[in-house]
Structure 1
Amino acid sequence: MARATRAALPALLTAAVVMSTALSLAAPAAAADVRVNHRLFGAHDSSAASSSFATIAEGSVRLWDVGVRWNQVETSRNTYDWTRLDQLVAAAQAARAEVTMVVAMTPSFYAAKPTDPPRNVAAYRRFVRALMKRYRSFDGSRGIAAYQAWDEVNISTFWSGSMHQIAQLTRALARVRDHVDPSAKVVAPAMVARMAFELDGIHAYYHQRIGGVPVWRYVDAVSVDLYPMPRYGGRIGVPEDSMQLLRQVRGKLRAAGVPRSLPIWDTEINYGLNSGAQADTPATTVSDARQAANVVRTYLLNAAAGVRRVFWYTYDMGTYAGGGSIANTRLAVAYQPAELTPAGQAYALVQQWMHGTLVGARGRRPCARDRHGTYTCVVHDSTGTRRIYWNPFRHARVTLRGNARALHGVLGGHRPVTAGTSLRVGWRPVMVTR
């Protein structure tokens, strides 16, 4: 499929607006069902014009790697440059997108290096207080809705302190919130989850107690970055692999006594990211169809698993100096953020496909997988019922239900189908409507 043209963008935007305003029309949800909230669809966007709001119409944005880290805003002790952050918050407000701010990377006058905790927690508290006072109401409406305690504290790239120290910062963030902006959410520090030592870090953090209180009591949401490995044996990492990581994370949370009712946010996701000594190697290139399929399957699987936010990293991803991308699923053309890739179009398309409620069957969560590994997601809204099928690793067949009339693909094509016939499916999700 060709890149999205400017003429096609208004239709995508219109569909996204309809989706976000019509959620109340969905049928009442059963216990196993999942109502799809527009804020599920998140992204990181570092483009100056915040082009993602005009193209993929995300419902939430996470401010990280966008020029507003703690050490980029506090330029000297108690002196703040709000210019960039004001621009990003205003753009999100105009698009009615919820903002999550990551409070991380210590200024040089508070620590030896940005990944160190501040020498005095009071410095962190002062900055958080200044943030919350400014953005609890920004130009008359909510500015920042959620504050995250740090980024990826279980890898040394972003945190060189102890888990007890980041737990102390988490409590500091929560206490300032309670006094300054009680309506804001506190999000636990992000944790990568794809390697054994990273899972050990999750275990260590959630077993922390501050003043005898479990650290999870200070947060409103758990944060994990569910990047799968770039390869598993002879195949590339796929969205279903990230769901296996989520199951492992939930095991660590249970062991720490974290209640299952505490929401989980997937704060960064993409595919093909390398790790360890290979972290600076460009990701393996995959086809446009594979990238579009990654996007659709990611949002369906996360929503079905009860994840509340999924932030794509990143909307406007650039390239390494020598060429190649940090990840293999890019939403916009490199250095041309107004131009969508097929994956970017799929990001807007899946919002339409998922509008309403994901329906579970017989008490099971939505998007059940059969014995052949084929997934079936049932979505219901006021217009009727839609079914989405795929099999990530093989070709399989499904029998179309009695009201099937049209088949829609992740690249935007559609064709008529006949009820009762057998449909061959593979890793490209397809949606069947009446």
Structure 2
Amino acid sequence: MASEAAARLAALLTEHKQRSGLSYEQLGRKVHSSRSTVHRYCTGRNVPATFAPIEAIATACGASREDLAKLYRSWERADLGDATVRDIFGTGTVVREAGVTVPDRRRPLTKVSLAAVLGVVLLAGGAMANPPGRQAPGTIPTVQAAMWTNAPRAIEPEFVGVTANSNTGQMPSFGVGSVRLWNTRTRWQNLEPARGSYDWATLERLVTGARGAGLPVTLTFGGTPLWASPNSPKSVYTDDSRTGPPDDLADWERFVRAVAEQYRGRIDAYELWDMANHQDFFSGSMAELVEMTRLASQAIKAADPDATVVCPSMGELWDPAAFDELRQFARLGGYDHCAAAAVKLAPRNDSDPPETMLPLAREIEKALQEAGAGVRLWSTGSAYDVNRQQPVDADRGAQHAARFFLSGLYAQYRRMYFYNWGSAKIPIVLQPVGGPHTKAARHVERLNEWLKGSRIHSCGQGREAGLPDHLWQCRFDEGGRNFLIWWTIDRSDRIPSAPGTTSIERLDGAGTPVEPGADVTVTGSPILLRLG
């Protein structure tokens, strides 16, 4: 352990403590630790094995997200002896930035830069010439994703979902399987503007619209009312909602119970918070979030036993500090209270191939396994900065929209919510409210039709799966008949059709008979191959 690096970390932490005016004992109570433990961390006598205790102390002292990032870098250097260490390829050897190799100490994932561990988007030619998620101009990334084969599993009718960002009550005019409500003025602040006083008008309009369209509804909670947490930071929204947990958790439990009772049998699932590992959305500790999850789960199950409880979503998981929050929530038993775990599984940019999110999906899966959290996985959003990203052209956007869902199937997720429906201010537009649906929406609709009533058997890509290079494939059956879906990552290849192929279908609705052994053109726009 490098004492100089530990001293720098301690100095930063002590600066936050002094600025907060809190004593060691007060901080200990806030972070559910002892006075002596907090003292050891603040004086540099000990460096914790994970970043979580440092983050909890700094957050209790009012640290910003930028402060946390600085602390994370200092903690990493302190723990690793003043070197940023990476084991990119799982070789058992880690490399200091200066180029000196040292033995791997079998550190958990959160002690390394996720951007390095997810050295998974390899540029053509094999070199990591650009950071993950930022491919070099004109290159096609090769993504490493392990093949899998399981007993056939029915794809849930709700799998192809969209997040609605409109409070009008209008719903998509193209076919999807479910709708998630967020940014619809249905946050806690909107629904309960004063303690015990509820305003159901907007939510009622949305639920009625969704039920009329035959769409199961997931309602996402967030936005603590000002009256419930007056001293916590203001959220990014304009409704005076706050990011902190309520001062009295009984207010939260009562609110959740009221919603579940009001919409018993009409709202199908409840996501218990949005982006709960981001300070702009939730500034409490993970221990507080776990308790909120426990109370909300109990309230929902008592009021509406058939509703699905989905744990608070975790986003920006390419960021090691954000990933560590997910890990901490899992280790504290948060996922024990839910039927599903929500994460923002999406590419770092909407212009990136959707398959680039698969290595991140694997790291999420491993983190949950390590914590013994056996829950289904849902993807409920995109990157935090999605509204600031550049538009994606119509053809590529349509391909990526369809492959977002196929990548979710590859990752074995049970629900995928595309972000979003209703807005025109995002890189890939499906349909503005009141406007026509786009090519991307038509592709999503066609994919949803392909998947209806089907079961998935396997997914694989490239030589490992016995397929031609660059080919991605998932295998399904429906009504006793097998079919494949093939695609590539943004390239065009002529490939011999699979044995038994009788016809192909495209996302534009075109279909073509196929002679045995004939070549088919495979591109970034998925095709369906009917077998037998």
Q: TM-score range by the shorter chain?
A: 0.7 to 0.9
What SS does the aligned partner of 1:39 have? coil
Q: Determine whether 1:330 maps to 2:429.
A: yes
1:17 aligned residue? none
> Are the equivalent residues in 2 in contact too, given 1:151–1:191 (CA < 8 A)?
yes
Q: Determine whether 1:263 maps to 2:346.
A: no
Equivalents in 1 of 2:376, 2:387: separation in Å? 34
Equivalents in 2 of 1:181, 1:433: separation in Å? 42
Q: For residue 162 of structure 1, report the CA deviation from its aligned partner.
A: 0.8
> Are the equivalent residues in 2 in contact too, given 1:60–1:97 (CA < 8 A)?
yes
Q: For residue 123 of structure 1, report the CA deviation from its aligned partner.
A: 0.8
Q: Which amino acid aligns with 1:205?
A: F
2:227 aligned residue? 109
Q: For residue 346 of structure 1, report the CA deviation from its aligned partner.
A: 0.8
Q: Which amino acid aligns with 1:316?
A: G
Q: For residue 301 of structure 1, report the CA deviation from its aligned partner.
A: 2.5
The structure whose RCO (Cα within 8 Å, separation 6+) is larger is 1
Q: For residue 383 of structure 1, report the CA deviation from its aligned partner.
A: 7.1
Equivalents in 2 of 1:285, 1:218: separation in Å? 39
2:12 aligned residue? none
- Residues 356/368 of structure 1: CA separation in 2 closer, same or farther (3 Å cut): farther
2:338 aligned residue? 219
> Are the equivalent residues in 1 in contact too, given 2:167–2:202 (CA < 8 A)?
no
- Residues 69/162 of structure 1: CA separation in 2 closer, same or farther (3 Å cut): same
What SS does the aligned partner of 2:309 have? strand
> Are the equivalent residues in 2 in contact too, given 1:378–1:387 (CA < 8 A)?
yes
Q: Determine whether 1:305 maps to 2:411.
A: yes
| 1:74-93 mapped onto 2 (5 Å cutoff) | 74-93=192-211
> Are the equivalent residues in 1 in contact too, given 2:217–2:269 (CA < 8 A)?
yes
Q: For residue 161 of structure 1, report the CA deviation from its aligned partner.
A: 0.9
Q: For residue 303 of structure 1, report the CA deviation from its aligned partner.
A: 2.4
What SS does the aligned partner of 2:380 have? strand
Q: Determine whether 1:170 maps to 2:267.
A: no
- Residues 154/267 of structure 1: CA separation in 2 closer, same or farther (3 Å cut): same
2:347 aligned residue? 228
2:269 aligned residue? 146
Equivalents in 2 of 1:48, 1:280: separation in Å? 20
> In angstroms, what is the RMSD of aligned CA positions?
2.2
Equivalents in 1 of 2:518, 2:255: separation in Å? 62
Equivalents in 1 of 2:338, 2:510: separation in Å? 43
Q: Determine whether 1:370 maps to 2:485.
A: no
- Residues 103/413 of structure 1: CA separation in 2 closer, same or farther (3 Å cut): same
1:36 aligned residue? 155
Q: For residue 254 of structure 1, report the CA deviation from its aligned partner.
A: 1.3
Q: For residue 433 of structure 1, report the CA deviation from its aligned partner.
A: 3.1
Segments of 5+ residues of structure 1 without an aligned counterpart are: 1-29, 137-141, 209-213, 320-324, 361-365
1:120 aligned residue? 248
Q: For residue 76 of structure 1, report the CA deviation from its aligned partner.
A: 1.1
Q: For residue 370 of structure 1, report the CA deviation from its aligned partner.
A: 2.1
> Are the equivalent residues in 1 in contact too, given 2:188–2:223 (CA < 8 A)?
yes
2:519 aligned residue? 422
Question: Which structure is larger by alpha-carbon Rg, 1 or 2?
Answer: 2
- Residues 402/149 of structure 1: CA separation in 2 closer, same or farther (3 Å cut): closer
> Are the equivalent residues in 1 in contact too, given 2:245–2:284 (CA < 8 A)?
yes
Equivalents in 2 of 1:426, 1:57: separation in Å? 24
Q: For residue 190 of structure 1, report the CA deviation from its aligned partner.
A: 0.4
- Residues 225/143 of structure 1: CA separation in 2 closer, same or farther (3 Å cut): same
What SS does the aligned partner of 2:348 have? coil
| 1:308-387 mapped onto 2 (5 Å cutoff) | 308-319=414-425, 325=426, 328-332=427-431, 334=432, 336-360=433-457, 366-371=458-463, 372-382=469-479, 384-387=481-484
- Residues 103/402 of structure 1: CA separation in 2 closer, same or farther (3 Å cut): closer
What SS does the aligned partner of 2:161 have? strand
Q: For residue 285 of structure 1, report the CA deviation from its aligned partner.
A: 2.6
- Residues 172/48 of structure 1: CA separation in 2 closer, same or farther (3 Å cut): closer
How many aligned residue pairs are there? 367
What SS does the aligned partner of 1:349 have? helix
| 1:144-293 mapped onto 2 (5 Å cutoff) | 144-192=267-315, 193-208=317-332, 214-230=333-349, 236-259=351-374, 262-269=375-382, 273=383, 279=385, 282-293=388-399
What SS does the aligned partner of 2:421 have? coil
Equivalents in 2 of 1:285, 1:177: separation in Å? 39
Q: For residue 417 of structure 1, report the CA deviation from its aligned partner.
A: 3.5
2:123 aligned residue? none
TM-score by length of 1: 0.79
- Residues 150/405 of structure 1: CA separation in 2 closer, same or farther (3 Å cut): same
Q: For residue 367 of structure 1, report the CA deviation from its aligned partner.
A: 2.3
What SS does the aligned partner of 2:179 have? strand
Q: Which amino acid aligns with 1:69?
A: R
Q: For residue 398 of structure 1, report the CA deviation from its aligned partner.
A: 2.7
Q: Which amino acid aligns with 1:147?
A: Y
Segments of 5+ residues of structure 2 without an aligned counterpart are: 1-148, 235-241, 464-468
TM-score by length of 2: 0.65
> Are the equivalent residues in 1 in contact too, given 2:177–2:448 (CA < 8 A)?
no
> Are the equivalent residues in 1 in contact too, given 2:178–2:217 (CA < 8 A)?
yes
What SS does the aligned partner of 2:174 have? coil
Q: For residue 402 of structure 1, report the CA deviation from its aligned partner.
A: 4.7
Equivalents in 1 of 2:416, 2:218: separation in Å? 12
Q: Which amino acid aligns with 2:449?
A: Q
Q: Which amino acid aligns with 2:282?
A: W
What SS does the aligned partner of 2:314 have? coil
> Are the equivalent residues in 2 in contact too, given 1:356–1:379 (CA < 8 A)?
no
What SS does the aligned partner of 2:397 have? helix
> Are the equivalent residues in 2 in contact too, given 1:300–1:367 (CA < 8 A)?
no
Equivalents in 1 of 2:289, 2:318: separation in Å? 21
Q: Which amino acid aligns with 2:373?
A: V
Equivalents in 1 of 2:226, 2:166: separation in Å? 26
Identity of aligned residues (%): 27
Q: Deviations over 1:45-76 (max 9, x none)?
A: 233554434x2232222111111000011121
Q: For residue 280 of structure 1, report the CA deviation from its aligned partner.
A: 8.0
Q: For residue 344 of structure 1, report the CA deviation from its aligned partner.
A: 0.5
Q: Which amino acid aligns with 1:229?
A: R
Q: For residue 80 of structure 1, report the CA deviation from its aligned partner.
A: 0.7
2:5 aligned residue? none
- Residues 356/182 of structure 1: CA separation in 2 closer, same or farther (3 Å cut): closer
What SS does the aligned partner of 1:340 have? coil
Q: For residue 281 of structure 1, report the CA deviation from its aligned partner.
A: 6.9
